[in-house]
Amino acid sequence: MTSELNKKKEHSVDARSLEKDQMKQKRKEWEIEYKKLIEKHPERLQKFMTTSSTTINRIYDKTDLPSDWNYFSDLGYPGGFPFTRGVQPTMYRGRLWTMRQFAGFGGAEETNERFKFLLKSGMTGLSVAFHLPTIYGRESDHLMSLGEVGKLGVAIDTLKDMEILFNGIPLDKVTTSMTINAPAGILLAMYIAVAEKQGIRPDQIGGTIQNDILKEFIAQKSYIFPPKPSMRIITDIIKYCSEFVPRWNTISISGYHIREAGSTAVQELAFTLVDGLEYVKWAINAGMDIDDFAPRLSFFFNSHNDFFEEVAKYRAARRIWARHIQQYNPKNQRSLWLRFHTQTAGCSLTAQQPNNNIVRTTIQALAAILGGTQSLHTNSLDEALALPSEEAVEIALRTQQIIAHESGVTNTIDPLAGSYFIESLTNDMEEKTEEYFEKIEKLGGVIPAIEKGFFQQEIANAAYQYQKEIEQKQRLIIGVNEYNKNEKIEVPLLSIGEDIAERQIARLHQTKQERNKKTVEAALEKIRLAASGTDNLMPHFLEAVKAYASVGEICDVLREVFGEWKGDQLF
């Protein structure tokens, strides 16, 4: 019986390779005919390429897939290894993605109002942007904070501000994503403290801190401390949350900023995943079990203009992650899941003819959804120039709702699977990512590669090439280098006045007056001790923020112990 089965199998393998040989022959014939044709009528472009400058073939068929390509091992079913088709079996037939719009500007009062407006409009998760002084661990009245207070996000100095930010929002009913990195543990401690004041326990709250310091060194550049102590803080947070805040996503491993800094899609994918694997290594080395933390790692990707390239990127991401995490022998299947948030590409938006940005965002959102995203932020049409207006934010949210409820693309799971083009691009993404992994390994790993400026230079090169392609018109951007019209681009004033800064600084001073100075000093001293030793920093952050120590004060203590990262001057 078995031998008969084997025979049958062999036969079908023979039949398949025969079919493939025939296809190769037919394809060759077709290409010859094609070349004859274009001698008379040349193709429209010299080179057909993706947004990432990857060359695209005239056509794709079976012969573009590797000979050992196999549905079960390369795709599988949704919810099954290697998760190419999606992490959950039900995907959007079960539950739609979370529509999560990033917001934060001015003081805590203004952002609190915007949150309430967004929740009323049907948004299902909060997302907080912080102003630069908070991101860099500086108080609002620090010299370097000049001109920045409340500008790019909400100003948070102490727990007092955080209490106002979430006033009237029950923290057990919403999930909150906080875009914060170097001081992430401190802001999470504040969130836990606000919840406690609402009578909500740490194990009842849910959300995400970005907490991805590696991509800060690589792309976004809001680092404070050098790489190694930064990784130690992150490992402390992962450990603490696995025990006390189990519903919290401890790192949002982010490619978004890598892409915004000018990388290609492959670089975004490869650098993000290599960062993710680095966090895993550190947590494992700290003695944790893969299942204790891997299910709480989440990812954050960009969605740029090139529709198929983006879809392939998400599908490849899931497969590569699952294959690498498998090596740690997880018992919980969720450890293998690459869950991700997507934001449409801010860098693709144009200041020229801004209404066109609605169309760009729609295409990008569609790619993210067909790529199986778990949550999505759609950019507003005016974001190339300013913080979005309320009307623009509403259109962006409606874009998602129209795709979800009117387009029909959510009716079936991973509808693009099996397309020769998509599968070939997906393979290609995986192959090139593995090549990058090898290159980085040869440089000594992620941190040595950062120290050598490897990632930074790769991204700068890609950004420069992209700009040159635009200037030489090898790449057309509608309204910028083609179909432009004589229009006056009006750059609106950032509506954040200096009164916000004055109010914020006054509140900081008042909070400092009202708090117990001795308690604060003692708490800061404990942080200094823990930082110099090996004690987990999180309980000490919690104690300090409850005493109304500021983000700036806590970071100053850490600066003294850990030192500061100086960055690069590469271009």
Q: Does 143 bind another protein (CB under 8 A)?
A: yes
Residue 148 or 553 having the CB closest to another protein: 148
CB of 165 closer than 8 Å to CB of 154? yes
Nearest C-alpha neighbor of 267 from the set 405, 119, 465, 76: 465
**Beta-carbon contacts of residue 136 (< 8 Å; ≥ 6 apart):** 144, 182, 222, 224, 555
Task: Give me the 198-227 binding string for another protein, x by CB under 8 A, dash otherwise.
Answer: ----------------------xxx-----
CA pair distance 25, 413, nearest whole angstrom: 34
Task: Give me the 477-506 binding string for another protein, x by CB under 8 A, dash otherwise.
Answer: ---x--------xxxxxx-x----------
Residue 119 or 351 having the CB closest to another protein: 351
Q: At what angle do helices 551-562 and 184-197 cross, to 10 degrees?
A: 150
| β-sheet bridge partners, residue 340 | 299
CB of 181 to another protein, least distance (A): 11
CB of 403 to another protein, least distance (A): 27
| Among the residue ranges 134-142, 193-201, 275-283, 446-454, the one whose residues contact another protein (CB under 8 A) | 134-142
Starting at the earlier edge strand, list the strands of the sheet with 206-209: 126-129, 175-179, 206-209, 248-249
CB of 369 to another protein, least distance (A): 27
Q: Does 75 bind another protein (CB under 8 A)?
A: no
Residue with tokens 């402390």: 236
Residue 23 or 476 having the CB closest to another protein: 476
CB of 524 closer than 8 Å to CB of 554? yes
Residue 1 or 143 having the CB closest to another protein: 143
What string of DSSP letters covers 280-331? HHHHHHTT--HHHHGGGEEEEEEE-S-HHHHHHHHHHHHHHHHHHHGGG--S
CB of 482 to another protein, least distance (A): 12
CB of 497 to another protein, least distance (A): 11
Write out the binding residues for another protein, residues 378-417 only, by CB under 8 A: 384-386
Write out the binding residues for another protein, residues 244-273 only, by CB under 8 A: 260-262
CB of 417 closer than 8 Å to CB of 423? yes
| Among the residue ranges 130-138, 397-405, 411-419, 510-518, the one whose residues contact another protein (CB under 8 A) | 130-138
Q: Does 460 bind another protein (CB under 8 A)?
A: yes
Nearest C-alpha neighbor of 363 from the set 210, 478, 487, 489: 478
| Among the residue ranges 86-94, 350-358, 402-410, 520-528, the one whose residues contact another protein (CB under 8 A) | 350-358
Residue 260 or 414 having the CB closest to another protein: 260
CA pair distance 220, 203, nearest whole angstrom: 31
The footprint of another protein (CB under 8 A) covers: 132-133, 135-136, 138, 143-148, 151-152, 220-222, 260-262, 347, 350-352, 384-386, 460, 463-464, 467, 471, 480, 489-494, 496, 566-571
